[in-house]
Amino acid sequence: MQFQLSDELIQKLEVLIQQQNDKELNLTLEDVHPADIAEIISELDLDEATYIIKLLDSGKTAEALMELEEGVRERILENLSAKEIAEELEEMDTDDAADIISELSEERQQKVIAQIIDEEHADNIVELLRYDEDSAGGLMAKELVKVNENWSVTGCMAEMRAQAENVTRVHSIYVVDGKNKLKGRLSLKDLITAPSDSHIQDIYIPKVDFVNVHTPAEEVAQIMQKYDLEAIPVVDEMNRLVGRITIDDIVDFIKDEAEKDYQMAAGISEDVEADDSIWRLTRARLPWLILALFGGFISVTVLGTFDAAMKEHAALFFFVPLIAAMAGNVGVQSSAIILQGLANKSLRGSLLKRLLKEITLSLFNGVVLAIILAVGGTFLLGFDWLFGITIGISLISVIVIASLIGTFVPIILDKQGIDPAMATGPFITTSNDICGILIYFSIAKLILGF
Amino acid sequence: MQFQLSDELIQKLEVLIQQQNDKELNLTLEDVHPADIAEIISELDLDEATYIIKLLDSGKTAEALMELEEGVRERILENLSAKEIAEELEEMDTDDAADIISELSEERQQKVIAQIIDEEHADNIVELLRYDEDSAGGLMAKELVKVNENWSVTGCMAEMRAQAENVTRVHSIYVVDGKNKLKGRLSLKDLITAPSDSHIQDIYIPKVDFVNVHTPAEEVAQIMQKYDLEAIPVVDEMNRLVGRITIDDIVDFIKDEAEKDYQMAAGISEDVEADDSIWRLTRARLPWLILALFGGFISVTVLGTFDAAMKEHAALFFFVPLIAAMAGNVGVQSSAIILQGLANKSLRGSLLKRLLKEITLSLFNGVVLAIILAVGGTFLLGFDWLFGITIGISLISVIVIASLIGTFVPIILDKQGIDPAMATGPFITTSNDICGILIYFSIAKLILGF
């Protein structure tokens, strides 16, 4: 039942666009969902994509524009006049319209807003543009259904019908007083099952979760997830109902956040995709690699200071990548677990308890690995026993230190108000490489003496 | 407005539980949301937690049980009788009840099901237990609102009211024919705004997205996200409407998947949290470390074969961790970007094009890094020029190869039907370490000759 994009369809559309066969184009795309139109548009070149956007009904293209990747959308919007963009925005919910308009230059924003015919819609968009992107105000839409606590159920049905026409999904009906202050909610289910002669005052639920326009987006996502909310009303400083946030916006936000943390851990500092330009990908990746390179310089210098070991204990140098890799892997594991705990706010208990736990855990892992290494080394590589002990003790120490760095650097950054995700990936592997090598050779020097 | 868990509250509850002061306990927890009750329970010891679960109304504790972490819930359920568990399940939606019951032993499952008084509810749970956890059948609930296409709007209102009583959120009203085959949907908004003398046949929307009971959960999540659906009906092989999936189940699924991929990339193979037991954490982490250790053995052996270089070109060995780290970092970056593309199904275009792009990108990054390395090395560490060229060319080669491995190993695994997330983290860093060192010394041997 799902739409499948095919090369044949793309070729057919390209031919129809060349022939300017608008009738056949409209017919072909008539039953295609806007999200699929967006997929088709991503496959066409810019002129063809613009042609389709201009041709189709703006009710459909508005939604397709929303689904496009930002880069593609930007280029198409550049090809449209202010009036054409305004027509698309008229069809969108205020939150989507504000998102799109914020991608334009300020000069262009004004021109586009001036072309929006529905003045209330324009006003709402301008209001939403004021809020920070990562706050409840930046996520909310102005579309919602609200009723006055003083109305009767029958009396407000007509009013609600009118309001519902402009709202894609009703979810909840919010109840306000004469000053637009949020009092509670009415669920649609309650409405269906309520006797028609009752009053709003008698049937509304005075308990309602809400957020303030300045509540950070992350907190909104947490509240909505924790309490399984599908929509949450947003109030201003005076407790007046100014908008609402729906779960689909939060789904996108949660996905973006998860991807951002993952990318950060992989040493990618911007939200990039495989199909982005080489320049954009380089900008996201190169800074981390340069950081790692400087870390590498330090490890070269550290190794250089131990060159006295080279004569008698050359084999020590063969184990450097093994030790460095173990330090890096353990550090990344520890930091990933702590980061997810921080993100979910599920870390409880004292730092001391966590310290003891991390030491026990890494000590245990370290001993198991050291035994494998010692046994493997003796049989496969034929170490003498003192060398085996040196490598084993070093491995255990490196693993314990690496896991402590991986655990506590993110916690400390978080306490300082710095994004702890910075401390994963290249940062943790590089610093653990250096520490690991330093510990390894220091222990070797102590035991073997050189 | 958000509930804040405090040590004082926990202490107060502990005292009240000790005093068996049920009245005061009920009063204290009366206005607390089930999700917050779950947080409180996680802080109490097992006996106290069980006491609270037994004391409070099962309408409230059923939801709290759902919110608990699996480990905590399992231990509490062990303390409850089959009858007590059945009472909790009666209060849950069928999908939640089936999830909980599937955590019990088979023997216990039968005892609990036998104690459920509502036979239809029990039947539904038993039906849901048949489906694979990661399929639409495993995600769906039996609770939904449906109407027959032959009914009149007024005629079906009473029926709908009755159905809606059992459904937490109505979302959509599904339209079926006399054989329960899915025909379309009625939105609640349409219902509010429809004239009351019309027939279902005249007003329902015949176009409706749906999935089959066997559709994989991942595909369900993609469809619901792409088309911004808040609920999707599920049909069986005969196109009969058997359940529906709501967006809140999908939110949990998306979050779990993102966390799983992230953990896999960090070398953690089970879904663990910072507060899990040391044994569980070890089981998730140690296997990857052992894999990395064996990779380390290989790198030791590779380095050992180049020991002839030690006499004249000892400094080559100092650069091993730098080269290995760069190979690892580049590999992780490339694989992370490809993995997200695979997960979002956003990878388009031919493999050849991707190959050329990845080579261009990594060549460019490699040259920039090699220049930094050569300039830095000459001024800071005082290389001779031939050594500088050796290191520079090696770095470029290693980066290009590492990025190709990082890009194509996940793609190949995915084509083979293996989870490409396997090929990130420790796996990619370990294999890139080995390849990197091999390339580095081979080039050095070629240029410097030893």
Tens of pLDDT, residues A80-107: 999 999 999 999 999 999 999 998 999 9
Report the residue of chain B nearest A302, measured CA to CA.
B318
Residue B281 has pLDDT above 70, yes or no: yes
Over residues B430-439, mean pLDDT: 92
CB distance B272–A297 less than 8 Å?
no
**In chain B, what are the helix, strand and coil shares in percent, each to the nearest 5?**
65, 10, 25
Q: Could B328 and A326 be called an inter-chain contact, meaning their C-beta atoms sit closer than 8 Å? A: no
**Range from A230-244, B184-198, B240-254 carrying the lowest mean pLDDT:** B184-198
Lowest mean pLDDT among A115-129, A131-145, B243-257: B243-257
The runs of H, that is alpha helices, within A68-194 are 70-78, 82-91, 94-101, 106-115, 119-129, 136-139, 153-164, 188-193
Could you tell me which of B336, B403, B333 has the C-alpha nearest to residue B366? B403
Answer whether residue A49 shows pLDDT above 90.
yes
Q: Are B244 and B140 in contact (CB under 8 A)?
A: yes
Question: Residue B81 pLDDT > 80, yes or no?
Answer: yes
The two tokens of residue A25 are: 């184009």
Closest Cα of chain A to B112: distance in Å?
27
Rounded to an integer, the average pLDDT of A407-417 is: 88
**Confidence check: pLDDT of A1 > 60:** no
- Asked whether the beta carbons of residue B429 and residue A278 sit closer than 8 angstroms, the reply is no
CA–CA–CA angle B162, B167, B171 (5° rounding): 110
Across the interface, whether the CB atoms of A329 and B289 are under 8 A apart is answered yes
Residue B88's pLDDT band (cuts 50, 70, 90):
very high
- Which residues of chain B are within 8 Å of residue A290 when distances are taken between CB atoms? 369, 372
Closest by Cβ to A278, choosing from B322, B341, B360 = B360
Q: How confident is the model at residue A402 (pLDDT cuts 50, 70, 90)?
A: very high
Mean pLDDT in chain A? 87
Q: Which residue in the block uniquely carries the two structure tokens 């296409």?
A: B149
pLDDT in the model for residue B193: 67
And the tokens for B77?
């359920």
Sign, CA dihedral A128-A134-A137-A141, equals: positive
- The answer, yes or no, to whether residue B247 has pLDDT greater than 90, is no
CA of A257 vs chain B CAs: smallest distance (Å): 10
How far is A109 from A139, CA to CA, in rounded Å?
19
For residue A227, the model assigns a pLDDT of 87
- Hey, what domains does chain A have and what are their CATH numbers? 7-138 (1.25.60.10), 145-255 (3.10.580.10), 278-448 (1.10.357.20)
> Which residues in chain A touch residue B341, judged by CB atoms under 8 angstroms apart?
273-275
- Checking if the pLDDT of A224 tops 80, the result is yes
Residues of chain A with pLDDT > 90, as a percent, come to: 41
pLDDT of residue B137 exceeding 90: yes
Q: Could you give the maximum distance between any two Cα atoms of chain B, in Å? A: 97
Q: Residues A343, A349, A353, A357: what is their CA dihedral angle, to the nearest 10 degrees?
A: -40
A169 — pLDDT class (breaks 50, 70, 90): low
The better pLDDT of the pair A121, B202 is held by A121
Q: How many CA atoms lie within 13 A of B178 on its CB side?
A: 1
Would you place residue B166 in the very low, low, confident or very high pLDDT band (cuts 50, 70, 90)?
low
Judge: A248–B251 Cβ closer than 8 Å, yes or no.
no
Tokens of A96: 């989507």
Q: How many CB pairs under 8 A join A and B?
A: 334
Q: What angle do CA A331, B426, A377 make, to 5 degrees?
A: 90
For residue B112, pLDDT over 60 is answered with yes
Q: Would you give the DSSP letter of residue A44?
A: S
Contact B269, B287 (CB under 8 A): yes
Nearest CB neighbour to B332, from listed A42, A296, A425:
A425
Alpha carbons B2 and B39: distance in angstroms, whole number = 13
Whether A24 has a pLDDT exceeding 60, the answer reads yes
Chain A residues in contact with B230 (beta carbon < 8 A): 169, 230, 247-248
CB within 8 Å: B325 and A292: yes
Give the highest mean pLDDT range of A237-246, A271-280, B291-300. A237-246
**Which residues on neighbouring strands pair with residue B232, listed in sequence order?**
B245
3-state secondary structure of B244: strand
> Strand A182-187's sheet: what is its strand order?
A145-148, A172-176, A182-187
Over 90: is that where the pLDDT of A261 sits?
A: no
Please tell me the predicted confidence (pLDDT) of residue B232: 94
Among B420, B396, B381, which Cα is nearest to B327's? B396
Angle at B222 between CA B220 and CA B226, to 5 degrees: 120
Contact B7, B33 (CB under 8 A): no
Long-range contacts of A310-316 (CB under 8 A, 24+ apart): A310/B310, A310/B314, A310/B317, A311/A450, A312/A448, A312/A450, A313/A387, A313/A444, A313/A448, A313/A450, A314/B307, A314/B310, A315/A383, A315/A387, A315/B304, A316/A390, A316/A440, A316/A441, A316/A444, A316/A448
Q: Say whether pLDDT at A345 is over 80.
A: no
Kindly report which listed range (A157-166, B142-151, B366-375) carries the lowest average pLDDT score: A157-166
Higher-confidence residue of A349 and B374: namely: B374
Provide the pLDDT confidence category of residue B165 given band limits of 50, 70 and 90: low
Average pLDDT, chain B: 87
Contacts of A278 in chain B (CB under 8 A): 357, 360-361, 364
- Percent of chain A residues topping a pLDDT of 70: 95
DSSP state letter for A185: E
Average pLDDT of the segment spanning B331-344:
85
Angstrom distance (rounded) from CA B325 to CA B329: 6
Q: How confident is the model at residue A262 (pLDDT cuts 50, 70, 90)?
A: confident
DSSP B33-73: -HHHHHHHHHHS-HHHHHHHHHHS-HHHHHHHHHHS-HHHH
Looking at chain B, the whole-number percentage of residues with pLDDT higher than 90 is: 41
